[in-house]
Amino acid sequence: MKILWVDDQIDAAQTFASILSSNGIDVEFSSDGEDALGKIMEYSYSLILMDLAMPPGRWGGLWLLEKLKQIDSPPPVIVVSGEGSQQETIQAIRLGASDYVTKENLPTELLGQLQAVLASDSAEVDAMRVMAGGECSSVEFKSTLRFNLHAKRPDSNIELAVLKSIVAFLNAAGGTVIIGVKDDGEVLGVTLDQFPNLDKFQLHFWNLVRDTIGPEFSEYIAAEPVKVKGVPIFVIRCSQSSRPVFLKWKSPGESKAQELFFVRAGPQTEQLGTRQALAYINSHFTES
């Protein structure tokens, strides 16, 4: 792994860089924004560590961030923030920096933050790769988890649509459901669901899975929020289950929940009747 550290005080940066070098990370240095931009255009870096107060201009790091916005798929940036530069650090985050670390905390926090940003960036790349292929037999986009954008209110039918897709993937060869993305691939983000924060969003999702699919099937579901170009979406990866999965769903007005069976038919989710479901289960599952 190779990163570029941009700081006009290279001697000080080199002292801290030993933390990274001892962990097998190759560190190159640049003393100003213009030189750094040239290197970024010519070489491939996994991440940029960037001081803000450097040429050109006192806050040259902000200038460099503006330039990076004009590049396709620039590397993620961690700002190295000095004392008294809080306002500029906030501006840097708004310009696309992934995170920041204060200079006094470099010895204790730098390596952990670098690893976290790289993991997040890798998740974004993976999500964008899946999204680029559009909806298909193994990929489904959902605008929201629970919020009806037309009625402008939470709607259990929206939740049902998400759960049906998950169950269908579990009963087939697996697949990915992405929440916060329109059918045409436009990124909307999960904030439309109007949860107070991402933790509440995830808690609601896993409660739905527990209540309607069953906690015993959670081993086949991996879900995480991922930022795509700064907008949080929710990526749900479903593996093929070793046993049939039924969706326990109680519609308004019904006295008890029904057990519904769904599969994928090309790019669509299909519900099977009792006889069809039994035939499918007998031919697809060794464990039932």
- Joined tokens for residue 108: 């204790």
Single residue among 65, 96, 131 that ends a domain in this structure: 131
Whether residue 250 is found in the same domain as residue 277: yes
Q: How confident is the model at residue 255 (pLDDT cuts 50, 70, 90)?
A: confident
Domain CATH code at residue 22: 3.40.50.2300
Q: Are residues 110 and 161 in the same domain?
A: no
Is the domain of 140 the same as that of 268?
A: yes
Confidence of residue 106 (pLDDT cuts 50, 70, 90): confident
Q: Per-residue b/e over 221-240, b at no fewer than 16 CB within 10 Å?
A: bebebbebeeebbbbbbbee
Predicted TM-score (pTM) of the model is 0.66
Residues 143 and 188 in one domain: yes
Question: What SS3 class is residue 155?
Answer: coil
Closest CA to 246 of 222, 216, 226: 216
- Tokens 């992405």 label which residue? 178
Q: How high is the pLDDT of residue 268?
A: 93
Residues 98 and 154 in one domain: no
* Residue that is last in its domain, among 109, 131, 153: 131
DSSP string of 95-128, one letter each residue: TT--EEEEGGGHHHHHHHHHHHHHHHHHHHHHHH
Looking at the structure, tell me whether residues 43 and 169 fall in a common domain: no
Check which CATH number belongs to the domain holding 148 and give it: 3.30.950
Nearest to 237 by CA among 250, 254, 213, 218: 218
Range of the domain at 35: 2-131
CA distances from 246 to 188, 243, 257 (A): 30, 10, 11
What pLDDT shows up at residue 10? 85
Looking at the structure, tell me whether residues 147 and 273 fall in a common domain.
Answer: yes
Task: Tell me the DSSP string of 158-215.
Answer: HHHHHHHHHHHHHHTT-EEEEETB-TTS-B--GGGG--SSHHHHHHHHHHHHHHHT-G
Task: Say how many domains are in the chain.
Answer: 2
Residue that finishes a domain, picked among 131, 157, 173: 131
Considering the domain architecture, whether residues 240 and 256 belong to the same structural domain is answered as yes
> Is 212 within 8 Å of 163 (Cβ atoms)?
yes
Can you give the pLDDT at residue 46?
A: 85
